[in-house]
Chains A and B, each alone.
Chain A
């Protein structure tokens, strides 16, 4: 990542509970599928530079909320604001260009392309994504220069996640854990401001889990990235997220830090009582 951007972000990194500079705001979000109401007036905020957790029993509406934020579904109602701008219902590609990206619960690696190709795909504004520039003899020089930069960044990113030895491997041949790392590497290459992680640790072994969390914290510290994390592993959430949002039956039940949440009776009841 470029040095000046990283330094600037570090200044605004937040480590306290107060949501005084929210990067992402969800207001009264609602999503209906036919007659089923999956998200019913969800309202919460995510502070800039934070690692926020989103939890809730099965069917609480977490994935649907994610999909509504990231443009996969169009919300039936409510508003999503990112960096002060209304992004409700915008297409996924627009959001990525504004710095909001996501990973997928079931890792969607582009299996017929190599790991390196997967990662080099991600950065925005690549000069070579124009047909004319790719073909015209004079202009292709710019493409080649830009590609070289992208390639170098790609190698760095792969090394950061320790999957550089798999660079020329077809992504389809990776193990489950390696694919998760690839997902993270890929979204990181888009130079985002906020990453939504959809169950990034599902099916990941403890060593890898630790490494991944370490990387996430490092990215927060060094570059001021904001993370919103959906996870089922309570320990991970409690130990890592400074702010936790609990969803239940489509809306927000409670929010606060780990202590507040674990001592909230409604939360306990939701998990024990309403478990699917």
Chain B
């Protein structure tokens, strides 16, 4: 039994909620240790800062991974246009909630409350997803992949276009802000409001150990995001553990057979695609638009591949795996290396500005310049790591951490019924 199999067995033994909570708690612990190690007297504030930021990342990627898992892990729809649907959600919310009389030079909007904006964003993302799905879902997986990424880029180019920076919607002035982006109601403000309102005692206590208000607010936001993840997980689990989910799995396995058994697979695929896109739209607002500002640069296709990496690490086909994968990816591969790079220094060695100088040190048997260069460029190197991890997983452990689980697509227990009337006669 290989090491991975024994890890898997141990993971399987734990109940899902415990698994997820434990995983995230471990990441928090790692952040705490790092803060203590490098923070000196400021360790508490640094710890809250780290934990808050990493939690927001985990939350955002978890929602996206759950959405992609529904579309691809369950139904086999290879959507790499995630960034585009995030943009649709975020920009719809922005247009709906931006102030009607903004500061000079800023883009106006319809000034509606944030919750209206969120619903609108999700609905729009679902609608656009449905429209894209109608012609595209009959394509085979790799063609669908190319179409979705092309579509996502078209969306980005459209919101980047200065022609739409300001326009008129039924007489009301609105806009996308073009390349400079748009400011709108900030979701973060909700967290800050909570903290400064009911959380006031906590703020005072935190202040006592040196933790700043904004850091605390960010941490609160991260926790709120995790609650959104929990809600999404609840909804998605109900969808997948049901006859609907069963049909989705069947479609991924063999669409012809599923049709021959009387299922209108097209309708199932479109519904699934729309639900997934709605979630991606939500993530677009709550993740990219946390601070109430978005711009086209935040919706490049690359984020799609990070979500893919997260899902594959965690195990495609498993809802719990999606969250675990997102936590692993964002915590350990994305956030941690960057913080390490920032905070590790080699005595007094200054990092060379370019690789030639860094390697030059080796000529005189001095590894420090190269090491210093590597450390100062960890932000770049972590993506190399992510790429390598992705390759390794797909070659050796394509099911990721939890993809091997057969989560039964049913809403009842599958045990043999105890009372059978006259069943014996058939034997």
Question: What residues make up the interface of A, taking CB atoms closer than 8 Å to B?
Answer: 70-72, 91-93, 96-97, 101-102, 104, 108, 110-114, 116-117, 120-122, 124, 126-131, 134-135, 140, 143-144, 146-148, 150-152, 155-156, 159-160, 162, 164, 167-168, 170, 186-187, 190
Contacts of B414 in A (CB 8 A): 114, 116, 151, 167-168
Contact at A131–B247, with CB atoms within 8 Å?
no
Chain B 371-401 residues near chain A, CB threshold 8 A = none
B346 within 8 A of A: no
Whether A159 contacts B253 in the complex (CB less than 8 A), given A117-B410, A120-B246, comes out as: no
Contacts of A112 in B (CB 8 A): 249, 253, 406
Contacts of A111 in B (CB 8 A): 253
Contacts of A117 in B (CB 8 A): 246, 249, 408-410
Contacts of B257 in A (CB 8 A): 104, 108, 110
- Cβ 8 A contact of B411, one of A108, A130, A147: A147
Contacts of A155 in B (CB 8 A): 416-417, 420
Contacts of B249 in A (CB 8 A): 110, 112-113, 117
Question: What residues make up the interface of B, taking CB atoms closer than 8 Å to A?
Answer: 235, 238-239, 242-247, 249-250, 253-254, 256-265, 268, 271, 275, 406, 408-412, 414, 416-417, 420, 423, 426-427
Contact at B411–A143, with CB atoms within 8 Å?
yes
Complex alpha-carbon distance, A93 and B253, angstroms: 16
Contacts of A128 in B (CB 8 A): 242-244, 411
Complex alpha-carbon distance, A122 and B246, angstroms: 10
Complex alpha-carbon distance, A29 and B303, angstroms: 52
Contact at B244–A130, with CB atoms within 8 Å?
yes
A-B contact pairs, 18 of them (CB 8 A): A70-B260, A93-B263, A96-B262, A108-B254, A108-B257, A111-B253, A113-B250, A114-B406, A121-B250, A121-B261, A122-B262, A128-B411, A134-B239, A147-B242, A147-B411, A150-B243, A155-B416, A155-B420
Contacts of B253 in A (CB 8 A): 110-113
Whether A135 contacts B239 in the complex (CB less than 8 A), given A93-B265, A124-B262, comes out as: yes
- Cβ 8 A contact of B235, one of A124, A135, A164: A135
Whether A110 contacts B254 in the complex (CB less than 8 A), given A91-B259, A93-B265, comes out as: yes
Complex alpha-carbon distance, A120 and B265, angstroms: 16
Contacts of B239 in A (CB 8 A): 131, 134-135
- A-B pairs under 8 A by CB, number: 134
- Cβ 8 A contact of A121, one of B246, B406, B412, B420: B246
Contacts of B260 in A (CB 8 A): 70, 72, 92-93, 96, 101-102, 104
Contacts of B408 in A (CB 8 A): 114, 117
Q: Name which of B247, B406, B414 has the most chain A CB atoms within 10 A of its CB.
A: B414
Contacts of A116 in B (CB 8 A): 414
Complex alpha-carbon distance, A241 and B246, angstroms: 36
Contacts of A110 in B (CB 8 A): 249-250, 253-254, 257
Contacts of A170 in B (CB 8 A): 406
B257 CB to nearest chain A CB (Å)? 5
Complex alpha-carbon distance, A151 and B235, angstroms: 23
Q: 9 more A-B contacts (CB under 8 A) besides A108-B257, A117-B409? A: A96-B262, A117-B408, A121-B263, A122-B261, A127-B243, A128-B243, A159-B427, A167-B416, A190-B262
Contact at A131–B412, with CB atoms within 8 Å?
no
Contacts of A91 in B (CB 8 A): 259, 264
- Cβ 8 A contact of B244, one of A134, A168, A190: A134
Contact at B256–A143, with CB atoms within 8 Å?
no
Contact at B423–A156, with CB atoms within 8 Å?
yes
Whether A151 contacts B238 in the complex (CB less than 8 A), given A101-B261, A121-B261, A134-B243, comes out as: no
Q: Which residue of A lies closest to B413 (CB)?
A: A151
Contacts of B247 in A (CB 8 A): 121, 129
Complex alpha-carbon distance, A221 and B212, angstroms: 80
Q: Name which of A128, A130, A164 has the most chain B CB atoms within 10 A of its CB.
A: A128
Contacts of A114 in B (CB 8 A): 406, 408, 414
Contact at A151–B417, with CB atoms within 8 Å?
yes
- Cβ 8 A contact of A96, one of B246, B261, B426: B261
Q: Which residue of A lies closest to B415 (CB)?
A: A151
Q: Which residue of B lies closest to A153 (CB)?
A: B417
Contacts of A131 in B (CB 8 A): 239, 244, 271, 275
Whether A190 contacts B261 in the complex (CB less than 8 A), given A135-B239, A147-B410, comes out as: yes
Complex alpha-carbon distance, A152 and B419, angstroms: 10
Q: Which residue of B lies closest to A97 (CB)?
A: B262
